[in-house]
């Protein structure tokens, strides 16, 4: 399948629609340079219509430099919406707590996403049928969601409706140890591209997860969340 970025309509949101929770991960964007700089932070709390409290983002083990009155942008993913809003720095609390008071948002814009948003990926994987003599086929995951993946494979796989075993490894957001995910899946939406020039024939499949481990579900949810916050062009 040719992955194309969908046109996501921007709309206004009420503060409550973001469903902010203490400990929620936020993207914290500064505007000191021509190109905005993206960091990640955590919500500590807020007093509605007065202020928000977030952790000062860290970079190379040290808090980033901020100034009173500086304008920043926060971006959050509520599960179905990606929202962003502008704030100003009201007061900073340095060592040992490293948190900052921000002005309460007065205007919030965002886009609504489908329940299981897919994001672009480039992950090596293998897939095999469930038969006793089935051999694994190397493939590449080109997009991922909490409900399944789309893969490109150099050879034909079982037809639509057949079950397969998918095996791949991912690095959790902000993690240092890769996690192996091995799960059953059902084949959906098979397509094939014709060989052209030096490009061989390539097969594309949608794979829908079956009984994905809850820990792996959370991991993929966090990966999707990070990708949505970091770059809207990763949305499929």
pLDDT value at position 111? 79
pLDDT in tens, 20-40: 888 888 889 999 888 889 898
pLDDT value at position 114? 54
Q: Determine whether domain 10-112 maps to CATH 2.30.110.10.
A: yes
pLDDT value at position 55? 96
pLDDT value at position 233? 52
Closest-CA residue to 117 (of 230, 2, 227): 227
| Residues of the chain scoring pLDDT < 50 | 1-7
Give the whole-angstrom CA distance, residue 106 versus residue 91.
Answer: 18
| Cβ neighbours around 128 below 10 Å, total | 15
Give start-end residues of each CATH 2.40.10.220 domain in the chain.
119-234
Distances (CA, A) of 160 to 89, 126, 131, 187: 54, 17, 16, 5
pLDDT value at position 209? 94
Closest-CA residue to 223 (of 171, 185, 183, 182): 171
* 201 DSSP assignment: P
Helices (H), the chain: 214-230
pLDDT value at position 122? 92
Give the whole-angstrom CA distance, residue 85 versus residue 102.
Answer: 11
What kind of architecture, by CATH, is found in domain 119-234? Answer: Beta Barrel (2.40)
Give the whole-angstrom CA distance, residue 7 versus residue 32.
Answer: 29
Pairing of strands 37-47, 58-59: unpaired
Give the whole-angstrom CA distance, residue 221 versus residue 48.
Answer: 28
Closest-CA residue to 76 (of 111, 104, 48): 111
Per the structure block, which two tokens stand in for 232? 């809207």
pLDDT value at position 164? 92
Q: What is the pTM of this model?
A: 0.57
Give the whole-angstrom CA distance, residue 234 versus residue 23.
Answer: 25
Give start-end residues of each CATH 2.30.110.10 domain in the chain.
10-112
């Amino acid at each position: 399948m040719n992955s194309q970025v969908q046109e996501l309509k921007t709309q206004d949101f009420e503060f409550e629609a973001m469903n902010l929770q203490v400990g929620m991960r936020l993207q914290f964007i500064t505007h000191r340079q021509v190109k905005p700089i993206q960091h990640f932070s955590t919500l500590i709390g807020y007093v509605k219509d007065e202020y928000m409290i977030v952790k000062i983002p860290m970079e190379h083990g040290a808090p980033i430099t901020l100034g009173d009155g500086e304008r920043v942008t926060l971006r959050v993913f509520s599960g179905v919406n990606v929202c962003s809003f502008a704030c100003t720095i009201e007061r900073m609390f340095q060592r040992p707590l490293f948190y900052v008071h921000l002005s309460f948002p007065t205007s919030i814009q965002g886009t609504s996403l489908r329940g299981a948003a897919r994001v672009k990926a480039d992950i090596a994987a293998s897939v095999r049928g469930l038969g006793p003599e089935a051999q694994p086929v190397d493939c590449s995951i080109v997009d991922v969601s909490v409900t399944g993946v789309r893969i490109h494979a150099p050879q034909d796989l079982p037809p639509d409706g057949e079950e397969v075993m998918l095996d791949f490894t991912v690095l959790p957001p902000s993690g240092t140890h890769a996690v192996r995910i091995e799960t059953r899946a059902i084949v959906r939406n098979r397509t094939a591209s014709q060989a052209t020039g030096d490009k061989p024939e390539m097969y594309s499949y949608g794979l829908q997860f079956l009984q994905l481990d809850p820990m792996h579900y959370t991991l993929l949810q966090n990966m999707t969340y990070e990708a949505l916050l970091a770059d809207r062009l990763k949305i499929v």
